[in-house]
Chain A
Amino acid sequence: AQTVTQSQPEMSVQEAETVTLSCTYDTSESDYYLFWYKQPPSRQMILVIRQEAYKQQNATENRFSVNFQKAAKSFSLKISDSQLGDAAMYFCAYTGANSKLTFGKGITLSVRP
């Protein structure tokens, strides 16, 4: 079975600085997809970024980028120029052939003004 591990429960970043959220996963599949979801306080969960395992190039969406290390099974999220609106819980997630998402436990990110 696939597992997703987010070992840090909380992180804090100064506004305008860069922060990296860590995620590792375990799978025996060769073809899969990885996601970062954001859940702002009392708001709906939304997709931040996704990565196909067969692509070597790291995905980027504006201030959000990933560092995907397939051999190490690591999938970290980098947020550049952090903004107050980035404060949220972030979940790393995995999906493979069965289309079911497996989530990590999440990390709460706070942004200091």
Chain B
Amino acid sequence: DVKVTQSSRYLVKRTGEKVFLECVQDMDHENMFWYRQDPGLGLRLIYFSYDVKMKEKGDIPEGYSVSREKKERFSLILESASTNQTSMYLCASSSHEAGPTDTQYFGPGTRLTVL
């Protein structure tokens, strides 16, 4: 089974703190994604990566950055957390092989609260 894990299920941080969210997948997938999920808004793509050291902006990249130094790990960074970044963050991965048909596999999510 594909496994996507995220470093924390729940996280509470203070405004202005630097926050790291970690995601690890064990299926040797090339593609990795970070989404945020908010009630009534569905999932919105923050950043994605097609390969190590590659990254592309999604639909809402402002206030976020990412790092992918190893194929299996994709980190989301909030340089200076703000209250409007309180949300559920979901990581996903998929394979290149079949292109757009490839299923994205999701992690359990990190519920981040910024006070």
Interface residues of A (CB under 8 A from B): 6, 9, 32-33, 35, 37, 43-47, 50, 52, 91, 95-101, 103-106
Given contacts A52-B101, A100-B45, A105-B40, are A44 and B107 in contact (CB under 8 A)?
yes
Are the CB atoms of B42 and A104 closer together than 8 Å? yes
CA distance A106 to B37 in the complex (A): 10
Are the CB atoms of B100 and A96 closer together than 8 Å? yes
Are the CB atoms of A99 and B31 closer together than 8 Å? yes
Q: Say whether B61 faces chain A, with CB atoms less than 8 Å apart.
A: no
By secondary structure, the A interface counts as loop
Count, A-B residue pairs, CB within 8 A: 49
Q: Say whether B54 faces chain A, with CB atoms less than 8 Å apart.
A: no
Return the chain B residue nearest A35 by Cβ. B103
CA distance A30 to B21 in the complex (A): 36
Given contacts A33-B101, A44-B106, A45-B90, are A91 and B31 in contact (CB under 8 A)?
no
Q: Say whether B48 faces chain A, with CB atoms less than 8 Å apart.
A: yes
Give 1 or 0 for each of B28-54: 1 = CB within 8 Å of chain A CB. Answer: 000101010000111111001000000
| Partner among A37, A45, A97 whose Cβ is within 8 Å of the Cβ of B100 | A97
Are the CB atoms of B42 and A105 closer together than 8 Å? yes
Are the CB atoms of A100 and B58 closer together than 8 Å? yes
| Partner among A32, A96, A98, A103 whose Cβ is within 8 Å of the Cβ of B43 | A103
Are the CB atoms of A45 and B106 closer together than 8 Å? yes
B residues near A6, Cβ cutoff 8 Å? 42
Are the CB atoms of A105 and B41 closer together than 8 Å? yes
